[in-house]
Amino acid sequence: LLSARRLKLLRPEAYVVNTARGEVIDENALARMLDAGELAGAGLDVFEHEPAVNPKLARSSRVVLLPHLGSATLEGRIDMGERVIINIKTYQDGHRPPDRVLPSML
């Protein structure tokens, strides 16, 4: 989604924040633009080749990196556990779980 071409459309005072999926940002282009002062900064909770972190981004003083903590809240973890229980019970009752993952999705 955020290729080098699209990143160049951002203003120099822009901050890029990604808590979705690492693959949505061209990290090498982001690192180049940050080093050149073409972007103000970035906050990343996910990485293009997770668990590896792009070393150019890790060295940048314009980047805040978190180890995929976006869902690490008490409420989030409780919700995840409840969804697992619902999926297991639904499957055991002979129905399709609401949050199933199909092989074609992998």
> Alpha carbon 6 to chain centroid distance?
18
CA angle 12/15/20 to nearest 5° reads 140
* Residue pair 87/98 in contact by the 8 Å Cβ criterion: yes
Annotated active-site residue in 6, 21, 49, 100: 21
Does the annotation count 50 as an active-site position?
Answer: yes
Task: Catalytic residue, from 32, 38, 62, 68: name it.
Answer: 68
Q: Any catalytic annotation for residue 68?
A: yes
Pick the catalytic residue: 6, 49, 50, 83? Answer: 50
Active-site positions? 21, 50, 68
